Amino acid sequence: MIWIDTIIQGVLLGGLYALFAAGLSLVFGIMRLVNLAHGDLIIFAAYLILLLVSLLGLSPFLAAIIAAPIMFGVGWALQRHVLNRVLGPDILPPLLVTFGLSVVLQNALLEGFSADSQRLPTGEIATASVQLGGLNLGVLPLLTFASAILVIVGLNQLFYRTELGRAFRATSDDAVTAGLMGIRPERIFATATAIAMLVVTLAALYLGMRANFDPNIGPARLIYAFEAVIIGGLGSLWGTLVGGVIIGVAQTLGAAINPEWQILAGHLAFLIVLLIKPRGLFPRAVD
């Protein structure tokens, strides 16, 4: 029973990692841009929520609803005015720029909020749990996992059922020909990053309610997100969820054997998947 419990906790933790990763996956899938500042943007959003909570006395959920459009705007402006300028056949400039952005964000947050570790106030929900067939499941982990599924379903609907989604895929295939369809690739890219920042806000909400955060933990979140995206296969959203779950389960199993093995077990799972399927579990047919 304890092993089943451990695995289920791992699956639920995987939901959080999938939320970290979904935005990264979306942006990579559309514009082949690896955003090294993704983790720091999650932490930035967490501080934004914290600021709204402490200034306006709101619940974190309400604060996240206000933070979401702000982050949408941040993502749009960031892509339009910074990242679009460095996108091109050479993948190095965007890597350098997002790496620089990561350093800038960390230091700006350090300057603004100090190095103290913070947490979003959660009230009763942090300890609430539900009984399910002899297992106690935390409400917050369940909510996180449900949100991850909703995000993936939502993004998939957007991708495969809407005109904007068609434009995303077409631009990803061939930006020049997309222009001949009346699509302006820079706008499509800006919209994609803006949507990714909505997911980032949600990830920040659950991260901030479940764990402490400080200005320097962004890169570690980025690693988990990266691993989830790569395990799943670059650009596949459901693959990203599976990737998050694999890391989550590996981590909780590792921790159950020996608490020191938690992080290591996650990375080992990632390495094993890479060895067996270097392109990930669900690679896109066209790459």
Partner 1 sequence: MSLLETHALTASYGDFQALFGVDIRLEEGEAVAIIGANGAGKSTLMRSISGVLINETDQVQFDGQPIGHLTADEIMARGVAMVPEGRRLFPSLSVEENLLIGTYGRKVAGHWSLETVYDLFPILQERRNHPGTALSGGQQQMVAIGRALMSNPRVLLCDEISLGLAPVVIKDIYAAVPRIQDAGASLIVVEQDIGQAMKVSDRVYCMMEGRVTLEGAADTLSREAIHDAYFGGATI
Question: Which residues here bind partner 1, judged by CB under 8 A?
Answer: 163, 166-167, 169-170, 172-174, 176-184, 286
Within 8 A by CB and 6+ apart from 109, the residues are 40, 43, 44, 47, 215
Min dist. Cβ of residue 286 to partner 1 (A): 5
| Cβ count near 1 (within 10 Å) | 8
Nearest residue to 83 (alpha-carbon basis) of 22, 41, 48: 41
Q: Closer to partner 1 at the Cβ: 88 or 179?
A: 179
Between residues 65 and 183, which has the closer beta carbon with respect to partner 1?
Answer: 183
Please, what is the minimum distance in Å from the beta carbon of residue 282 to partner 1?
15
Q: What is the dihedral of CA 206, 235, 225, 194, to 10 degrees?
A: -50
> In the chain, what is the straight-line distance between the N-terminal and C-terminal CA atoms, in Å?
43
C-beta closer to partner 1: residue 119 or 166? 166
Identity of the residue, 7 or 175, whose beta carbon is nearer to partner 1 in the bound complex: 175
Q: H helices within 87-127, ranges in order?
A: 92-113
For residues 161 and 277, which CB has a smaller minimum distance to partner 1 in the complex?
A: 161
Query: In the bound complex, what is the minimum distance in angstroms from residue 87's beta carbon to partner 1?
Result: 16
* Distance of closest approach, residue 170 Cβ to partner 1, in angstroms: 4
Residue 238 Cα distances to 69, 245, 267, angstroms: 25, 11, 20
Cβ 283 to partner 1 shortest distance, Å: 13
